[in-house]
């Protein structure tokens, strides 16, 4: 199978860099084809702006969504964007790997999402009607592919507990896993998280790569998180709120995962 | 009073640009001093990297936290970082203004946070002991100052309801409001959110600026969100989980706000 690993750490000799190398080797040993987008090494341009089209409309105000749509539909996207979209279309599975900085992905990776996720590619896809509000949240261009986060945190696992001060890790990652991965169609696997990344020794590293290896070996068999598809009848349209009979009374991020999971 | 507005939209004639101009005028009319960090206009460098020190350690691996600490402590930070820190210290209130892109702040603003929030400035502050886990979450360099988000979303308000598909807006914003603003000490005001930003007309715009004007007029009197201070005895240390007697059984982001709020 084809695997794209999008890597967002500035230092090759870091823990993240080592885990990236380990992952590539493990996947290739299993016979997969691997491409790596090493965003810092690529000097990825983070800010979304008018320069994302090779033919920006001069004199007119820049409109982030509509100009993205225009560039996507007319083959006017800058080459770095089109190249990353081609990798996403090529991939059967995508891994986003990053250190959790200020409870989200590093800016350089956020800029990858903003620029590569063009209007018409990752959003603004499909018909809008009384029963179907675009191909999103379980449908879309990237449907049928798998995605997984590989994340390191400086904080301890207990800090990300159900009652931990940082918030539960599944809630901290929900805007990424549900909002960035499930949205354009990915099946999202449970994340691989390394806590307390500043305290590493050979024994811990061995245990971590053992666990990561197992996750990579089962990349195409691990059951995905059971997020509710938007157009499956579980949401009212166009309000896009859960229908009263779906998990009555439940609120918050967890309401968008079926309880059976 | 002194107000810093950090603005992250690429187009001056956008809704965000107009609301920025409105806010500056309103605040100045009330007698406040206002500074604006217009990140796109400043061509703010988004990625955190070794270049954030004016004297990077050649030959040694780049260590994001420790190198930030070294640069901060020794006056070696790049000028753009030091300048933004000075604005934060000058300000009595800080407003972060941005369009919600993929359920978080734009990359250029995330990069502002990552680079300006140096080790020793916004984290790694204060003593670590059995009863005090650093000056953070309610304490820290920016304690005594107020902060507020001004956010626009393309989605409808119902999409961000308690049972809306995007997740409740207070949960979507929790990693920013709690993790980025409350963490270094800010008192965080309820956010000002404009939904369905793509559908704007004169009447809606008038209503929005009316509401925004009221929020700006009460910037220094609105009660902040009642997040629980970390070192107030409500959390076990070092696990940093809520003590069993604090909101027994409650989990998730909402557990970190006192119910009285």
Residues 6+ apart with CB under 8 A from B67: B50, B52, B53, B56, B57
- Tokens 């402590």 — which residue? B73
Question: B39-72 pLDDT, tens per residue?
Answer: 999 999 999 999 999 998 888 999 999 999 999 9
Q: Is residue B238 part of a domain?
A: no
Cβ–Cβ under 8 Å, residues A33 and A2:
yes
pLDDT > 90? residue A13: yes
Identify the three-state secondary structure at position A77: strand
From residue A86, give the alpha-carbon distance in Å to each of A54, A83, A107.
Answer: 17, 5, 22
Instruction: Single out the residue of A98, A96, A146 nearest to residue A116, CA to CA.
Output: A96
Whether the per-residue pLDDT at B261 is higher than 80: the answer is: no
ipTM score for this prediction: 0.97
Strand spans (E) along A100-166: 146-152
CATH number of the domain encompassing residue A102: 3.40.50.360
B118 in Cβ contact with B160 (< 8 Å): no
**Interface mutation target, options A107, A154, A232, A240, chain B, most CBs of B under 10 Å:** A107
B245 occurs within a structural domain: no
Cis before B51? omega within 30: no
- What residue spans of chain B are helical by DSSP H? 15-29, 64-73, 79-90, 107-116, 169-172, 174-176, 202-217
Output the pLDDT for position A110: 98
CA distance B27 to A158: 42
How many A/B residue pairs have CB atoms within 8 Å?
A: 206
Residue of B nearest to A198 (CA): B65
Work out the number of other CB atoms within 10 angstroms of the CB of residue B31.
7
Tell me if B180 and A102 make a contact (CB, 8 A cut-off): yes
Residue contact B40–A61, C-beta within 8 A: no
The tokens describing A32, both together, are 């997969």
Contact list, B163 vs chain A (CB under 8 Å)? 241-242, 250-251, 255
8 Å CB contact of B10 and A62: yes
Selected residue of B119, B163, B234 to mutate for chain A interface (largest A Cβ count, 10 A): B163
Low-confidence winner among A30-39, A55-64, A70-79, B145-154 (lowest mean pLDDT): A55-64
Note the pLDDT of residue B120.
98
pLDDT bracket for residue B34 (50, 70, 90):
very high
Q: How far is CA B234 from CA A20, A152, A193, B241, B254, in A?
A: 39, 27, 27, 9, 14
> Is B87 part of any domain?
yes
Nearest to A115 by CA among B173, B131, B108, B40: B108
Q: Which residues of B touch A62 (CB under 8 A)?
A: 10-11
**Which single residue is written with the structure tokens 């119902």?**
B158
Q: Which residues of A touch B111 (CB under 8 A)?
A: 46, 107-108
Please state, in angstroms and as integers, the Cα–Cα distance from residue B30 to each residue in B23, B26, B27, B99, B217, following that order. 11, 6, 5, 26, 8
| B252 belongs to a structural domain | no
pLDDT number for residue B57: 81
| B106/A14 CB distance under 8 A | no
Contact A175 B104 (CB under 8 A): yes
Sequence-distant (6+) residues with CB within 8 A of B248 are none
- The rounded distance, in Å, linking the Cα atoms of A144 and A138 is 9
- Residue A260's pLDDT is 57
- Of A70, A234, A232, nearest in space to A135 by CA: A232
In this complex, which of B107, B117, B235 lies closest to A110 when CB atoms are compared? B107
Picking from B13, B61, B253, the nearest residue to A61 by CB comes out as B13
The partner residue sitting opposite B163, judged by closest CB among A46, A166, A251, is: A251
Question: Chain B: residue nearest A159 by CA?
Answer: B240
Is B249 within a domain?
A: no
CB B213 within 8 A of CB B26: yes
Is residue A253 included in any domain, yes or no?
no
Percent of chain A at pLDDT > 90 equals 94
Q: If we measure between CA atoms, which residue out of A126, A142, A122 comes closest to residue A65?
A: A122
Q: How many whole angstroms separate alpha carbon A142 and alpha carbon A134?
A: 14
The answer to whether the CB atoms of B108 and A113 lie below 8 A apart is no
- Per the structure, the complete domain to which residue A144 belongs is given by 2-225
Shortest CA distance from A113: residue in chain B: B102
pLDDT of residue B131: 81
Residue B241 lies in a domain: no
Would you place residue B230 in the very low, low, confident or very high pLDDT band (cuts 50, 70, 90)? very high
pLDDT reading at A261 higher than 50: no
Q: For B123-145, b where at least 16 C-beta lie within 10 A, e where not — what string?
A: bbbeeeeeeebbbbbbbbbbeeb
Closest Cβ opposite residue B103 in set A14, A103, A179 = A179
Q: What is the pLDDT of residues A111-161, one digit of tens each?
A: 999 999 999 999 999 998 888 999 999 999 999 999 999 999 999 999 999
Q: Are B174 and B137 within 8 A, CB to CB?
A: no
Tokens of A194: 């390394």
Cα angle for residues B84, B87, B88 (degrees, 5° grid): 90
Contact A211, A192 (CB under 8 A): yes
Query: pLDDT tens digits, residue range A46-80?
Result: 999 999 999 988 889 999 999 999 999 999 999 99
> Largest Cα–Cα distance of chain A, in whole Å?
60
Question: Minimal Cα–Cα distance from A63 to chain B, Å?
Answer: 7
Contact A40 B47 (CB under 8 A): yes
Nearest CB to A179 within list B105, B154, B166: B166
Residue A67 parent element (H or E): helix A64-73
Angle at A1 between CA A188 and CA A80, to 5 degrees: 75
B137 contact partners, CB below 8 Å, separation of at least 6: A165, B178, B182, B183, B227, B228, B229, B230, B231
What is the pLDDT, as a whole number, of residue A59? Answer: 83
pLDDT band of B5, cuts 50, 70, 90: very high
Separation of alpha carbons A231 and A208, rounded Å: 38
**Nearest chain B residue to A62, by CA:** B11
Which positions in chain A touch B14 (Cβ < 8 Å)? 61, 63
* Whether the model pTM is above 0.90: yes
Distance from CA of B30 to the nearest CA of A (A): 31
pLDDT digits (tens, 9 = 90+) for B88-97: 999 999 999 9
Residue B161 lies inside a defined structural domain of this protein: yes
Interface contact B158-A241, CB threshold 8 A: yes
Residues from chain B contacting residue A179 (CB–CB below 8 Å): 102-103, 166-167, 172
pLDDT at B192: 98
Q: Give the model's pLDDT for residue A166.
A: 98
For residue range B170-192, what is the model confidence (pLDDT) as tens digits? Answer: 999 999 999 999 999 999 999 99
Contact flag B111-A178 (C-beta cutoff 8 Å) = no
Q: Which pLDDT belongs to residue B260? A: 57
Query: For chain B, how many structural domains are there in total?
Result: 1
Residues of chain A found within 8 Å of residue B175, distances taken between Cβ atoms = 102-104, 167, 172, 175
């Amino acid at each position: 199978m084809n695997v794209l690993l999008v890597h967002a750490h500035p230092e090759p000799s870091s823990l993240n860099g080592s885990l990236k190398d380990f992952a590539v080797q493990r996947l290739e040993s299993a016979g997969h084809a691997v491409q790596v987008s090493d965003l810092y090494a690529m000097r990825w341009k983070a800010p979304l702006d008018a320069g994302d089209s090779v033919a920006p409309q001069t004199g007119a105000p820049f409109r982030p969504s509509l100009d993205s749509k225009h560039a996507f539909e007319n083959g006017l996207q800058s080459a770095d964007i089109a190249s990353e979209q081609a990798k996403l279309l090529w991939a059967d599975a995508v891994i986003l790997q990053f250190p959790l900085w200020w409870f989200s992905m590093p800016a350089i990776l956020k800029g990858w999402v903003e620029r590569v996720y063009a209007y018409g590619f990752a959003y603004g896809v499909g018909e809008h009607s009384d029963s179907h509000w675009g191909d999103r949240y379980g449908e879309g261009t990237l449907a049928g592919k798998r995605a997984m986060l590989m994340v390191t945190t400086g904080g301890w696992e207990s800090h990300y507990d159900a009652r931990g001060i940082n918030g539960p890790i599944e809630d901290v990652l929900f805007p990424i896993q549900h909002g960035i991965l499930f949205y354009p169609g990915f099946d999202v696997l449970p994340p691989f998280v390394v806590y307390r990344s500043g305290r590493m020794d050979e024994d811990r590293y061995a245990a971590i790569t053992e666990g990561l290896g197992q996750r990579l070996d089962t990349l195409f068999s691990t059951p995905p998180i059971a997020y509710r598809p938007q157009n499956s009848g579980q949401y009212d349209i166009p309000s896009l709120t859960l229908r009263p009979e779906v998990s009555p009374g439940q609120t918050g991020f967890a309401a968008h995962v079926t309880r059976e999971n």
